[in-house]
Structure 1
């Protein structure tokens, strides 16, 4: 690509990284602090897991994507390790989405047993399982499925003391057959197909129940349907943002390096990273609880800024509200979150 294209690509990656970090930190704060008892619900636990993965995309995956483009010269082993980090974060997102789909399916189809099964402890255990599997699947190239031989690289270093390692690039260490057959078909497409089946059954079941239920039960079913639509939207956006890049890998594998232009490839990379920045926006518009938590966090932020700049009236009103809250709690009253 031309020099101006590299500059534009780097600037866009920086903007995406900043959006990923700020947006997903806000999501975690909204769920963990702004929504009372939200972490008792498995869906919010898995949303936090997804937000953490998206945050780490901004902190680690995007900078590594820029560096792993021939800008640094490191040993092949270190280059491989850094490349695998990107795969781990992608897999963590996929497994978090799968856990959300399974959770909604169980909530709808076994409502009586669901509360006993979906405890807070088991929810966090499921999150740990997702991240453990993500590490095992993402670090698979470390166990042998890669583009270079460690023995060959060691012999090169031994025979040439002044040997300078080649620039580190993602595809110089990650095998295209691995990306297509294992990562794309096994670790992305297979979970996406399972999630598609689950959400199809969820919507089909909800549609049937809405027709047969009484007006009192319809309100709860409609809330469940809106939540399922919002979660399905997150899934669709993931597929739209990630599948183009994987399809480009398929073209590169079957038709060679000339099958995809550099500009198209880097557009696919930007699109995949942008998915992590878009999710917090979806949560803000589609999840009323998170939207309310965003508003509370924003109001607290504005009040802190006003207090910092010496707005005594705002500080007095804030202190008065705290005193009122304390007195209410002390008298046994209840306050709204």
Structure 2
């Protein structure tokens, strides 16, 4: 009887965890489905950058549809075979890797756009953008499935037969040296460092070009000002990714380098929440920071949710040239 209050408290924490995760999943799926819908509806947004943004949105949808439900299931500690639990845990890593690689692809795309603006359209074609998106996902699967080929905790579980069942928990099947050295240092810290360097260079080049007012034409100044606005929005997406994902990775490092250090379960839950809520934040950044995206989103909301007929907008039809120039609509 003395243990019942503790058990009840843990059940309350678990129910709160499940409720919050469910809300995050719904927000993530709804918001990112709208991102994909906006890009499909507005032809002016179908450029190479938004191809990578759609890839990122698909990864965020997968967070709501797959990652969060799997995280809830794993947190409940159900019984299953070792490799089944390991595969479910690897799926969580695959989605994370696809997100950060999509962000890296966006940073490289924007860097090329300001560094070589004249040759950009001939080098970065839509076809090559699709190939880059496919490579991001293939690489995500390859890196995320590394534990399946041996870098896992099977040996720590003793002599398990193929039919033996374990309590499925992430730390039970996943080795912390893989999570820290390979996943965090290799596939989070390194890409984030590259992205920070690229955006710093993007802002430097844009500022340099804007300072040459005497030499620059009005069109050139307008081009770089629009690039600056979009670069700030995308850099904010990277910043939010870092803020949301670093806590859980830092706790993994503490657990690995200081096994005696006790990390409260509530702190782990907060870290997991932050990593998942990042998927729901990106659509908000696009809606508040990118004008053309926001206008299309308002039109979709009026047409579909409020059952209002679409109002004619001069932007897509006023001038064919505007539909060809993505930057004019951003």
TM-score (norm 2): 0.88
- Counterpart selection for 2:38 from 10, 30, 43: 30
Aligned residue in 1 for 2:5:
none
Q: Distance in 2 between matches of 1:174 and 1:205?
A: 43
> For this pair of structures, how many residues does the alignment match?
307
The 3 A distance-change label for structure 1 pair 182 and 36 is same
Q: Name whichever of 42-51 and 69-78 sits farther off.
A: 69-78
Q: For structure 1, which runs of at least 5 residues remain unmatched after alignment?
A: 158-162, 307-313, 323-328
The 3 A distance-change label for structure 1 pair 151 and 132 is farther
Contact in 1 for aligned 2:254/2:261 (Cα 8 Å)? no
Asked if 1:152 is matched to 2:159, the reply is yes
Asked if 1:233 is matched to 2:240, the reply is no
**By how many angstroms is 1:3 displaced?**
2.4
**Which entry has the higher C-alpha Rg, 1 or 2?**
1
Aligned residue in 1 for 2:13:
5
Q: Name whichever of 138-147 and 255-264 sits farther off.
A: 255-264
**By how many angstroms is 1:215 displaced?**
5.9
Q: Distance in 2 between matches of 1:19 and 1:302?
A: 16
Q: Distance in 2 between matches of 1:85 and 1:256?
A: 26
**By how many angstroms is 1:105 displaced?**
0.5
Aligned residue in 1 for 2:91:
85
TM-score (norm 1): 0.86
Query: Which string of whole-angstrom CA distances, capped at 9 and with x for unpartnered residues, describes residues 56-91 of structure 1?
Result: 000000011111124321100100000000000000
Contact in 2 for aligned 1:251/1:259 (Cα 8 Å)? no
Q: Name whichever of 1-10 and 143-152 sits farther off.
A: 143-152
- Counterpart selection for 2:246 from 229, 237, 243: 243
Query: Which string of whole-angstrom CA distances, capped at 9 and with x for unpartnered residues, describes residues 205-262 of structure 1?
Result: 1111101033612222111001000000000000000001000000001112643111
Aligned residue in 1 for 2:271:
268
Asked if 1:49 is matched to 2:55, the reply is yes
Contact in 2 for aligned 1:96/1:130 (Cα 8 Å)? yes
Contact in 1 for aligned 2:52/2:106 (Cα 8 Å)? yes
Q: Distance in 2 between matches of 1:232 and 1:302?
A: 31
Contact in 1 for aligned 2:110/2:231 (Cα 8 Å)? yes
**By how many angstroms is 1:112 displaced?**
2.0
Root-mean-square deviation (Å)? 2.3
Q: Distance in 2 between matches of 1:297 and 1:228?
A: 25
Matches within 5 A, 1:1-337: 2-33=10-41, 35-39=42-46, 41-149=47-155, 152-154=159-161, 157=163, 165-213=165-213, 214=216, 216=218, 217-256=220-259, 258-302=261-305, 304=307
Contact in 2 for aligned 1:21/1:55 (Cα 8 Å)? yes
3-state SS, counterpart of residue 168 of structure 2: strand
3-state SS, counterpart of residue 285 of structure 2: helix
Q: For structure 2, which runs of at least 5 residues remain unmatched after alignment?
A: 1-8, 324-330
